[in-house]
């Protein structure tokens, strides 16, 4: 690593920390209905939304109606995206004359984008028309991110309100996230990206005669508008197969820096929004700090692994699956961020990362996508771990556990465990299944322990709603499309439903004022405990599988067998 590499990393974190209170404060105003700068610009649009759709924005609902609305809305999106894929030849904007998508791939892709996963079993430029990318996928990029934020806002209301069953209005939270947060940021970001060279057009693919006299077909399309939201909304689904390593998707170091920052921007800022909404900015920074520490640990290990020499390739910089303009540091900073944040876009091929750097990406996902995590999803996932930590701390000192004046009782802990176990069970069971059946093994691109890593990564990515891959695995088969599709559904709603139940139960409770015996959740001791709980739960669950995958491969690489 050079000094310039270190400067880029520091600059990245400095900007992330600096932007967190600014955007966080803005989102606080948006979600609490205060005046904010976007109201004069988009306020009329919010009114029109409610008018056209007949939503009563003053009506508040309990957790069950809130969740039911959310599930219905997501179901509608799922069905729509599925349908337009299987009939895309009859729809407009298909200049490359791409055929209809197979039913299992269409199922997988529609689940994938609806659940904010953006796992891609298909290759964008050779599978989907501009119509499907735009009217189907871009929309899901927005609303799946907005759904995550809505769940978080409901949970925060559950924590900060007392003796009520009202958690707000799903349609209002959905609309505000989209209109005031995601849309303005995306417009701005998309235009900056085009300025760097990302394409945005509706032209047919361009056939060129290369300098050496062969033909090359250059894909086209409305890419920038989709890339902006896929980075900001922790979606991650590339317009092209190579995702953000594709030069038309991420042409320069500057576009790369911004796309990387966009991965973590909203999830980080939401911690500040949280602090403001529960009445203690310090609580927000506590969570931010715990997340940042976990991210920096992972990044340091990855960088160390990538810059280490090994007996097979000696001191050769490991540029397989990496782009010259990004080099190793920017590829690893991206791989760590995208896996921590449940984004899943890539600017380097994770399959070709050194075993330990690949494992860090995998572990970031397996810990539950709570190191900043998905927009909304990361923080509500982290709050689940906070409940667990408070509970365990309460057991240790023999007091009734409390969080922000709310008693944590059996129901909350049960629901928290469901939310933690659901994705983990999917990872372990499906990986075990795929590694013993022919339809699972025949898709592998690498053999041995690295092959197991490909399978583990796929199901971790699905259950964590991340979407990145060890992409050598040929996942566009009936077996993988269905199991991964199912895994994504469990990973999303197996967490959302218990979280909403916790929100509903917490809202009904009284708030006890803090006393001398109150266990504080805004200091370094708590940060340490929280990190320990996260690592112990993740470690106990996944260490055995990891030792057969990436750890075994690391040993093979260094023993030169």
| Residues from 242 through 261 that contact another protein (CB under 8 A) | 242, 245-248, 251-254, 256-257
Of 134 and 501, CB closest to another protein: 134
Q: State the binding string over 8-47 for another protein (x if CB under 8 A, else -).
A: x--x---------------------------------x--
Which of 2-10, 401-409, 490-498, 521-529 is the region at the interface with another protein (rule: CB under 8 A)? 2-10
Which of 24-32, 239-247, 337-345, 517-525 is the region at the interface with another protein (rule: CB under 8 A)? 239-247
Looking at residues 445 to 464 of the shown chain, list those that interact with another protein (rule: CB under 8 A): 445-450, 453
Of the residues 16, 114, 155, 174, which one makes contact with another protein according to CB under 8 A? 174
354 counts as binding another protein under rule CB under 8 A: yes
Of 130 and 519, CB closest to another protein: 130
* DSSP per-residue letters across 9-20: HHHHHHHHHHHH
Of 187 and 395, CB closest to another protein: 187
316 counts as binding another protein under rule CB under 8 A: yes
CB of 403 to another protein, least distance (A): 31
What residues does 403 pair with on adjacent strands?
406
DSSP-derived 3-state class of residue 160 = helix
DSSP-assigned letter for residue 351: G
Looking at residues 182 to 211 of the shown chain, list those that interact with another protein (rule: CB under 8 A): 183, 186-187, 190-191, 194-203, 205-206, 208-211
Of the residues 318, 333, 375, 475, which one makes contact with another protein according to CB under 8 A? 318
CB of 188 to another protein, least distance (A): 10
CB of 422 to another protein, least distance (A): 24
Q: Are 471 and 321 in contact (CB under 8 A)?
A: no
How many Å apart are CA 383 and CA 156, to the nearest integer?
A: 10
**Residue appearing with tokens 């540029």:** 319
CB of 493 to another protein, least distance (A): 15
CB of 60 to another protein, least distance (A): 15
Q: Are 200 and 225 in contact (CB under 8 A)?
A: yes
Of 331 and 337, CB closest to another protein: 331
Of 209 and 438, CB closest to another protein: 209
Q: State the binding string over 283-302 for another protein (x if CB under 8 A, else -).
A: --------------------
142 counts as binding another protein under rule CB under 8 A: yes
Residues 165, 175, 416: CA angle, nearest 5 degrees: 45
Which of 148-156, 170-178, 374-382, 504-512 is the region at the interface with another protein (rule: CB under 8 A)? 170-178
DSSP-assigned letter for residue 350: G
Q: State the binding string over 323-342 for another protein (x if CB under 8 A, else -).
A: xxxxx--xx-----------
CB of 531 to another protein, least distance (A): 30
From the DSSP assignment, how many helices (H) and strands (E) are in the chain?
Answer: 21, 4
Q: Kind of pairing, strands 215-218 and 402-403?
A: unpaired
Tokens of 317: 């910089």
What residues does 217 pair with on adjacent strands?
207
Q: Are 488 and 374 in contact (CB under 8 A)?
A: no
CB of 510 to another protein, least distance (A): 31
Q: State the binding string over 92-131 for another protein (x if CB under 8 A, else -).
A: -------------------------------xxxx-----
Q: State the binding string over 463-482 for another protein (x if CB under 8 A, else -).
A: -------xxx----------
Of 99 and 448, CB closest to another protein: 448
4 counts as binding another protein under rule CB under 8 A: yes
Tokens of 334: 């991206």
* DSSP per-residue letters across 42-56: HHHHHHHHHHHHT--
Half-sphere exposure of 141 (CA within 13 A, CB side): 28
DSSP-assigned letter for residue 257: H
How many Å apart are CA 452 and CA 459, to the nearest integer?
A: 11
Residues 433, 447, 336: CA angle, nearest 5 degrees: 80
- How many Cβ atoms from other residues are within 10 Å of residue 166's Cβ? 17
**Residue appearing with tokens 């006393």:** 515
CB of 416 to another protein, least distance (A): 27
Tokens of 483: 């199991």
**CB-based contacts of 289: which residues, under 8 Å, 6+ apart?**
527
Of 315 and 510, CB closest to another protein: 315
523 counts as binding another protein under rule CB under 8 A: no
Q: Kind of pairing, strands 206-209 and 402-403?
A: unpaired
CB of 4 to another protein, least distance (A): 6
508 counts as binding another protein under rule CB under 8 A: no
Of 65 and 512, CB closest to another protein: 65
Of the residues 15, 19, 55, 296, which one makes contact with another protein according to CB under 8 A? 55
Looking at residues 370 to 429 of the shown chain, list those that interact with another protein (rule: CB under 8 A): none
Residues 22, 24, 28: CA angle, nearest 5 degrees: 120
539 counts as binding another protein under rule CB under 8 A: no
Of 62 and 289, CB closest to another protein: 62
389 Cα distance to chain centroid: 23
Q: Are 82 and 106 in contact (CB under 8 A)?
A: yes
Of the residues 27, 143, 371, 503, which one makes contact with another protein according to CB under 8 A? 143
Q: Does the CA dihedral 489-465-271-231 come out positive or negative?
A: negative
Tokens of 196: 């760097």
| 3-state SS string for 212-249 | CCCEEEECCCCHHHHHHHHHHCCCCCCCCCCHHHCCCC
How many Å apart are CA 350 and CA 343, to the nearest integer?
A: 14
Which of 135-143, 390-398, 409-417, 521-529 is the region at the interface with another protein (rule: CB under 8 A)? 135-143
CB of 201 to another protein, least distance (A): 5
């Amino acid at each position: 690593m050079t000094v310039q590499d270190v400067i880029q990393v520091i600059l990245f974190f400095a900007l992330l920390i600096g932007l967190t209170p600014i955007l966080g404060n803005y989102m606080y105003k948006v979600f609490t209905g205060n005046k904010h700068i976007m109201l004069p610009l988009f306020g009329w649009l919010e009114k029109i939304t409610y008018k056209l759709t007949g939503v009563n924005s003053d009506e508040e609902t309990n957790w069950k109606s809130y969740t039911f609305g959310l599930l219905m809305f997501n179901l509608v999106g799922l069905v729509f995206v599925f349908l337009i894929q299987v009939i895309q030849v009859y729809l407009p904007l298909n200049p490359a004359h791409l055929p209809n998508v197979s039913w299992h791939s269409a199922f997988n892709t529609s689940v994938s984008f609806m659940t904010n996963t953006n796992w891609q079993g298909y290759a964008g430029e050779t599978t989907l028309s501009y119509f499907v990318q735009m009217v189907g996928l871009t929309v899901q990029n927005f609303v799946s991110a907005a759904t995550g934020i809505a769940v978080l806002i409901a949970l925060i209301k559950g924590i900060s309100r007392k003796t009520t069953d009202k958690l707000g209005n799903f349609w209002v939270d959905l609309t505000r996230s989209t209109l005031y947060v995601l849309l303005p940021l995306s417009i701005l970001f998309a235009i900056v990206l085009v300025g760097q060279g990302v394409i945005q057009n509706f032209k047919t693919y361009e056939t060129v005669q290369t300098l050496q006299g062969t033909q090359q077909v250059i894909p086209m399309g409305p890419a920038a508008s989709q890339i902006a939201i896929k980075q900001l909304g922790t979606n991650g689904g590339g317009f092209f197969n190579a995702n953000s390593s594709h030069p038309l998707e991420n042409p320069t170091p500057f576009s790369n820096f911004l796309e990387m920052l966009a991965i973590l921007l909203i999830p980080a800022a939401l911690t500040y929004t949280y602090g403001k909404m529960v009445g203690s900015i310090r609580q927000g920074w506590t969570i931010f700090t715990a997340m940042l520490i976990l991210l920096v640990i992972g990044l340091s290990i990855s960088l160390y692994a990538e810059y280490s020499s090994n007996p097979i390739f000696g001191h050769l910089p490991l540029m397989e699956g990496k782009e010259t303009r990004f080099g190793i540091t920017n590829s690893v900073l991206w791989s760590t961020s995208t896996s921590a944040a449940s984004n899943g876009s890539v600017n380097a091929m994770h399959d070709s990362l050194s075993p330990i750097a690949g494992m860090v990406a995998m572990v970031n996902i397996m810990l539950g996508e709570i190191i900043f995590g998905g927009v909304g999803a990361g923080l509500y996932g982290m709050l689940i771990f906070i409940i667990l930590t408070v509970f365990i701390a309460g057991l240790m000192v023999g007091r009734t556990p409390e969080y922000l004046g709310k008693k944590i009782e059996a129901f909350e802990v049960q629901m928290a465990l469901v939310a933690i176990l659901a994705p983990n069970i999917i990872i372990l069971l499906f990986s075990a299944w795929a590694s013993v059946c022919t339809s699972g093994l025949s898709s592998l691109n690498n053999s041995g322990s690295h092959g197991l890593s490909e399978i583990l990564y796929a199901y971790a990515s699905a259950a964590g709603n991340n979407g990145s891959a060890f992409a050598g695995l040929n996942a566009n088969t009936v077996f993988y499309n269905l199991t991964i599709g199912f895994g994504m559904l469990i990973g999303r709603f197996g967490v959302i439903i218990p979280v909403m139940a916790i929100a509903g139960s917490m809202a009904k409770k009284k708030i006890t004022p803090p006393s001398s015996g109150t266990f504080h959740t805004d200091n370094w001791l708590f940060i340490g405990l929280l990190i320990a709980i996260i690592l112990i739960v993740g470690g106990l669950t996944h260490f055995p599988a990891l030792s057969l995958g990436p750890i075994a491969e690391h040993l093979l690489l260094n023993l030169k067998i």
